[in-house]
Amino acid sequence: MSVRLFVPCDAGALAVGADEVAQALHKAALERGAEVEIVRNGSRGLYWLEPLVELETAQGRFGFGPVTADDAPSLLDAIIADKPHKLSLGLTEEIPWLKRQTRLTFARCGIVDPLSLDDYRAHGGYKGLTRALTLTPDAVIAEVTTSGLRGRGGAGFPTGIKWKTVSQTAADRKYVICNADEGDSGTFADRMLMEGDPFVLIEGMTICGIAVGATKGYIYTRSEYPHAIATMAKAIEIAKKAGLLGDKIAGSNYTFDLEVRTGAGAYVCGEETALMESLEGKRGVVRAKPPLPAHHGLFGKPTVVNNLLSFAAIPFILDEGAKAYADFGMGRSRGTMPIQIAGNVKFGGLFETAFGITLGELVDDIGGGTFTGRPVRAVQVGGPLGAYFPRALFDTPFDYEAFAAKDGLIGHGGIVVFDDTVDMSKQARFAMEFCAIESCGKCTPCRIGSTRGAETIDKIRRGERVAENIALVEDLCGTMKLGSLCALGGFTPYPVLSALKHFREDFGPQQPRLQAAE
Amino acid sequence: MTPVYETWETARGAEIIAEHSKMEGATLPILHALQEAFGYVPEEAIPMIATALNLSRAEVYGVFTFYHDFRAKKAGRHVLKLCRAEACQAAGGDALAARAEAKLGIALGNTTADERVTLEPIYCLGLCATAPSAMLDGRLVGRLDEARIDALVSEAQR
């Protein structure tokens, strides 16, 4: 009997022993003389079950997890004998956490072999590009505009309008940049997709290049993501060999080339103008806008800069049509959002769903509360520049406008859960400290204000003139918000002010606290 | 898995710079390549990059010092990076970082006196659903607890 197993090669799975599990399964198979094929897939995104081993059957894939190397012999015995195993999860697709998702962008992640073009095609890959090649560039852009897709990096700018601006700007050379500089804590969707389904990004960027008339694309990602970089680079080589990148893409008259570039540990390079400076080989210092990147971007040429998740949504939109995408969502937030649930949470991972689900459903219902078993006290949504939400705001629907109305942001869709041992003045201080570490130094409110902010919160925590110093921090936040060019200095006030507003009791002389979760 | 680096030689440095100098925006790729080869970016390389890319030394030095990744001198034999961002904080990362600091007798951002271990903060490895996490010489470790951090520290000290 031949057995086909899937063991993820996703960095999150590797961090909890997926390689060791794959090796142990291989060894156990040799010992038993069993014919076992082990496919290294991406992650399904159910991280509390990683390493999640799957068995291919006629009914679908059966999951087992979390598997350790020690479990491998007994697991293989059970599989060969067709007997139940203590780690059996049943059909993976039937696991409620996965079943209730709407996976459009992540449709293939965790299912396909990330570097198999045949597998990608067998699961609907390159159908979007095929259709795009039958349309005029303007019609492709119209499709993207109609889909209602907005920038998934957090700013939420309509993607189609950005593309149209670049397409209408005349130039001898244009660029497409994928912002995969996913530095927000609590986010890992870009990493997962690059490791689990790299061709969807290549396809999305290729469609963009064709639509706007760009011939060169860059994927700018983080040095903290070595596995994603390696997979992405290999996928690009495979696509080139298959005639899907380079000259005469898929037999058309279009040219589009792609390259991965690696940042060097600067958070601010996730800001699009700093990113372009970095790509040009300079310090990642933010540029003033205007001019917009769409007019005057990389090397002064018209440039589309989109988040990875925006590009990854494109193949579906072109394949299934704008309406199919826009049918999901609420208000002006159309389609689906890959939400990442992380931190002190029982069931953490990637949950792609239509906009409109409430924060409370995400944290309590889907996330299952904290893994420490203590009550959830706060959640930070949208990374280090996102606001902290108390339980009282858990009825907020996940939607760009709804979060803005509550003085927050959805950012790149990361949710970090904290239990009741969290010290919110410490978190506010960290926001300032992080801004001080990562500031590019261009704007004074960000460069100096962040350091002064951390010092002032220290004073509050020591009990020095608490009311006056709180007023000072609030005033400083106003200056940073209005006086900084980019979101780093401009949004650092979100976590600080939200902590002050919703958790004021934590700002004052420090009492001995409960031990932090371990 | 101790990383092995070449000893700096001007000719080898020049070769690496030449390999990348035709790229668009070559500064970062060159700095990365040099650090990958030698474990750090030797001071002597800065004017060489400047000449190759027709930039001033100050510009190249400015780029080199802007990014957290680039080192002016070699790190310890092992580099242990602890994720210090919010998701890992929420999962008990603060206490584990303090534990690692105490075990090694150094604060984050430093190298032990015997030059065996460099302990560094990292702001997000993207393993936020299996937090707290760390990276030892490129190997990722998630779901850290006291036992796991102790094992990592011992491994790094060997």
- Asked whether residue A311 carries a pLDDT value surpassing 70, the answer given is yes
Query: Which fold does the domain A2-95 belong to in CATH?
Result: Glutaredoxin (3.40.30)
Neighbours of A115 (CB within 10 A): 16
Among residues 115-174 of chain A, which lie with CB inside 8 Å of chain B?
A: none
Note whether residue B3 is domain-resident. no
Cα–Cα distance, A348 to A343 (Å, whole number): 8
CATH number listed for the domain at residues A424-506: 1.20.1440.230
Residues A416 and A186: beta-carbon distance below 8 Å: yes
How many angstroms separate the first and last alpha carbons of chain B?
Answer: 11
Which of A187, A264, A414 comes nearest B69 by C-beta?
Answer: A264
Tell whether B55 and B82 lie within a shared domain.
Answer: no
Cβ distance of B90 and A438 shorter than 8 Å: no
Tell whether B128 and B150 lie within a shared domain.
Answer: yes
pLDDT of residue A517: 46
Q: What mean pLDDT do residues A259-280 have?
A: 97
- Asked whether residue A297 carries a pLDDT value surpassing 50, the answer given is yes
pLDDT of residue B17: 98
| Residues forming CATH 3.10.20.600 domain(s) in chain A | 330-419
Q: What is the mean pLDDT of chain A?
A: 96
pLDDT of residue A436: 97
CATH number listed for the domain at residues A117-326: 3.40.50.11540
Question: Count of domains in chain B?
Answer: 2
Tell whether B86 and B153 lie within a shared domain.
Answer: yes
The boundaries of the domain holding residue B39 are: 10-66
Q: What is the DSSP letter of A148?
A: T
Tell whether B60 and B85 lie within a shared domain.
Answer: no
- Asked whether residue A516 carries a pLDDT value surpassing 60, the answer given is no
For the stretch B42-79, pLDDT in tens is 999 999 999 999 999 999 999 999 999 999 999 999 99
CB contact, 8 Å: A80 with chain B? no
The burial of A513, by beta-carbon neighbours within 10 Å (0-12 exposed, 13-18 middle, 19 or more buried), is given as exposed
| Residues forming CATH 3.40.30.10 domain(s) in chain A | 2-95
User: Where do we find the tokens 């902290």?
Assistant: A388
More confident residue, A86 or B4: A86
CB contact, 8 Å: A416 with chain B? yes
Cβ distance of A282 and B90 shorter than 8 Å: no
Rounded to a whole number of angstroms, the distance from the CA of B10 to the nearest CA of chain A is: 22
Which sign does the torsion angle of CA A265, A270, A271, A277 carry?
Answer: positive
- Partners of residue A371 in chain B, C-beta under 8 Å: 91
Rounded to a whole number of angstroms, the distance from the CA of B132 to the nearest CA of chain A is: 8
CB contact, 8 Å: A8 with chain B? no
User: With pLDDT > 90 as the criterion, what percentage of chain B qualifies?
Assistant: 97
Cβ distance of B123 and A183 shorter than 8 Å: yes
Name the pLDDT band for A518 (thresholds 50, 70, 90): very low
pLDDT of residue B56: 98
Cα–Cα distance, A203 to A7 (Å, whole number): 25
pTM of the model: 0.96
Query: Which fold does the domain A330-419 belong to in CATH?
Result: Ubiquitin-like (UB roll) (3.10.20)
Angle between helix A18-32 and A72-81 (nearest 10): 50
pLDDT of residue A184: 95
pLDDT of residue B3: 78
Cβ distance of A343 and B27 shorter than 8 Å: no
A158 φ, ψ (degrees, to nearest 5): -60, 120
Name the pLDDT band for A510 (thresholds 50, 70, 90): confident
Note whether residue B131 is domain-resident. yes
Name the pLDDT band for B1 (thresholds 50, 70, 90): low
Which of B26, B69, B126 comes nearest A281 by C-beta?
Answer: B26
Q: What is the CATH number of the domain that holds B127?
A: 3.40.30.10
Note whether residue B73 is domain-resident. no
Cα–Cα distance, A125 to A117 (Å, whole number): 8
Q: What mean pLDDT do residues B104-126 have?
A: 96
Q: What is the DSSP letter of A169?
A: S
Cβ distance of A15 and B128 shorter than 8 Å: no
Question: CB-based contacts of B11: which residues, under 8 Å, 6+ apart?
Answer: none
For the stretch A430-482, pLDDT in tens is 999 999 999 999 999 999 999 999 999 999 999 999 999 999 999 999 999 99
Note whether residue B1 is domain-resident. no
Q: A–B: how many Cβ contacts below 8 A?
A: 164
Tell whether B58 and B94 lie within a shared domain.
Answer: no
- SS3 string, A364-406, reads HHHCCCCCCCCCEEEEEECHHHCCEEEHHHCCCECCHHHHHHC
Residues A176 and A304: beta-carbon distance below 8 Å: yes
For the stretch A145-180, pLDDT in tens is 999 999 999 889 999 999 999 999 999 999 999 999
Cα–Cα distance, A323 to A338 (Å, whole number): 19
CB contact, 8 Å: A233 with chain B? no
| Residues forming CATH 1.20.1440.230 domain(s) in chain A | 424-506
Name the pLDDT band for A515 (thresholds 50, 70, 90): low
Tell whether B59 and B100 lie within a shared domain.
Answer: no
